[in-house]
Structure 1
Amino acid sequence: MEFQHELIIPNEGLPFKIFLFEGGHGNYEREKHWHTSIEIFAVLKGGLTFFLNDEEYPLEAGGLIIINSNEIHSIHAPGKNETVVLQIPLKQFEKYFTAQRFIRFTSAARVAKDRKNKAPDNRKLAFFIEELYKAYRAKEEGWEYRTMALYYNILYLMVRDYRETEAAQEEIQDSRRLDALSKITSYMREHYTEEMKLSDMAALFGYSDAYLSRMFKKYAKINFKAYLQEIRMSYAYRELSNTEKTISQIALDNGFASSRAFSREFQKKYGDLPSELRQKLAVIR
């Protein structure tokens, strides 16, 4: 399977992640990947093309598509575009699962080929997603209440208008092949500050060390240790950007053995030492 698992971490203090699509300048391709979270792309300007299970779904301004949990997809953006991406943890919908940890959503882009089904009207959902992004970016007084109000409107519309109440057994089985690893990676994101070994995780989830190691290499295209490092580094980067904590404190708070070890790995990943990046961010602000 030539696809990778994508690590998704919510925005600081929020139960979701919202941002502008990184391929907005065009000439961009995102290879096949998957993640546990539900993902919505709302195109404001320009256009891009999605590939879901080798089916092509072109989107133009005003278009919207929902990517389901564990759904393998890739993206092609040859031209400039402005696209808001909203990523919602799967557990937000646990009251509406049609099977164990299974829920599916549709969208106009996905049912356009099937004239028997009536496509939901995307205008409301697209409106709330754009407004959510604006409120999050502006951060005006009371923005926390505004963003959560918009977010719950989005969840409401998704459950009411987009949720599929029936699921084929084959689709459920296909999803479950990735669900086992999703449970493990979710646990890792919740406990990443603690000491964590492959053998401990294997015992916790009832696998042998060798089987769990193969699972990571096959489905996440990365080994267990490197994946844990990615989690720790992502949270540390966020703290470095958004807090006044010392670099030593950030390193220790995010599971690194020392500030030296953190700085070494940080420079490998981002090209700068933590102190250098913090200086650059201070100039931008």
Structure 2
Amino acid sequence: MQPSYEEKKEKFSMIRKKPHHVPPHLHNAIELVYVTKGELELGIGYELYHMEKGDFAIVFPDLIHHYQVFSKGKNEVYQFYASLELSGPFMALLQKKCPENPVIANADLHGEVKNALSCLIKDQKVSEVVGQAYLQIILYRCRETFRFIEKDSVGSNDLIYAAMSYLLSHFQEELTLGKVASALGTNKFALSKIFSGIFHTNFNQYLNEIRLNYVTSLLENTDRRITDIFLEAGFESQRTFNRAFQLRYNQTPSEYRKSWWEK
């Protein structure tokens, strides 16, 4: 399950992955995003930012963000997560402000940032002290490039958080746009606008993303029957589930589980 709010436990960590669609979420860590192959779309607030090989972005803490991948080629991204306390003199900036555009194109990325990223990738497992040093170099150099705005101005709307929280708490139930809108005290047209304007998707697609994240977590970590898993996740039928799963992962749930366990 993709929680509405993640509390990152490690003070500095790195993930190398093949990116895929990730629904809107937020967490308490600084997130560094470095595309090493292919393309990636980074969504923050109402905006969607295109990233290509060599491009770099910083997602400030407590901002709703999501990822989309439209390229059918080979895509690879490194994501680094750092605790706010590792930012040192940049902490106040990270808490109150955020970049108007979080993406720095490869051609505009400072050499010291490229070197820091290269060292982090090469070392793989980085200690907290080393991670802190590289993080502050990256923040220092990127600060010179970014234009900052107030964090509260980025997609700030209580209805967004309310919608996320409700769906993440009730996704296993039978839900419709109208039912969720009624529960939130709004109308379905206003709620639909939230999904299209901020999440860049529609209600059913976003709900399926949450359910699929829950499904893949169980496929990766348990040997439970696939039928039990998709029903628990809230899918109404095997046909609906298989179609959604195939569309997102381009393989069957059985193939996904087998490939994951063979890693």
TM-score range, shorter chain: 0.5 to 0.7
Equivalent residue for 2:17?
20
Q: Report the alpha carbon displacement of residue 267 of structure 1 after superposing the two structures with TM.
A: 3.2
Structure 1 residues 9 and 155: alpha-carbon distance in aligned structure 2, compared to 1, 3 A threshold: farther
> TM-score normalized by structure 1?
0.52
Q: Report the alpha carbon displacement of residue 236 of structure 1 after superposing the two structures with TM.
A: 0.9
Query: Pick from 22, 33, 48: which aligns with 1:41?
Result: 33
Structure 1 residues 251 and 215: alpha-carbon distance in aligned structure 2, compared to 1, 3 A threshold: same
Equivalent residue for 1:138?
none
Structure 1 residues 240 and 65: alpha-carbon distance in aligned structure 2, compared to 1, 3 A threshold: same
SS, match of residue 104 in structure 1: strand
Q: Tell me the alpha carbon deviations over residues 120-161 of structure 1, each in whole angstroms, 9 at most, x when there is no partner.
A: x758974895489x34xxxxxxxxxx8xx7499659957xx6
Q: Say if 2:220 is the partner of 1:226.
A: no
Q: 1:181 & 1:73 partners in 2: Cα distance?
A: 17
Q: Tell me the alpha carbon deviations over residues 177-206 of structure 1, each in whole angstroms, 9 at most, x when there is no partner.
A: 577435523543354334444334324444
Q: Report the alpha carbon displacement of residue 210 of structure 1 after superposing the two structures with TM.
A: 1.9
SS, match of residue 155 in structure 2: helix
- Is 2:39–2:75's contact at 8 Å kept on the other side of the alignment? yes
Query: Pick from 274, 279, 282: which aligns with 2:253?
Result: 274
Higher relative contact order (CA closer than 8 Å, sequence separation 6+): 2
Identity of counterpart residues, as a percentage? Answer: 23
Q: 2:67 & 2:248 partners in 1: Cα distance?
A: 25
Aligned length: 243
Q: Tell me the alpha carbon deviations over residues 94-129 of structure 1, each in whole angstroms, 9 at most, x when there is no partner.
A: xx7889x9642699969x99xxxxx9x758974895
Superposed, which structure 2 residues align to 1:16-165 within 5 Å?
Answer: 18-20=15-17, 22=19, 36=26, 39-42=31-34, 65-68=57-60, 69=63, 83-86=77-80, 103-104=97-98, 122=113, 126=117, 130=121, 134-135=124-125, 150=128
Q: 2:208 & 2:129 partners in 1: Cα distance?
A: 30
Q: 1:240 & 1:56 partners in 2: Cα distance?
A: 31
> TM-score normalized by structure 2?
0.55
SS, match of residue 219 in structure 2: helix
**Any gaps of 5 or more consecutive residues in structure 1?**
1-6, 24-29, 114-118, 136-145
Structure 1 residues 155 and 219: alpha-carbon distance in aligned structure 2, compared to 1, 3 A threshold: farther
SS, match of residue 231 in structure 2: helix
- Is 1:86–1:129's contact at 8 Å kept on the other side of the alignment? no
Q: 2:190 & 2:256 partners in 1: Cα distance?
A: 38
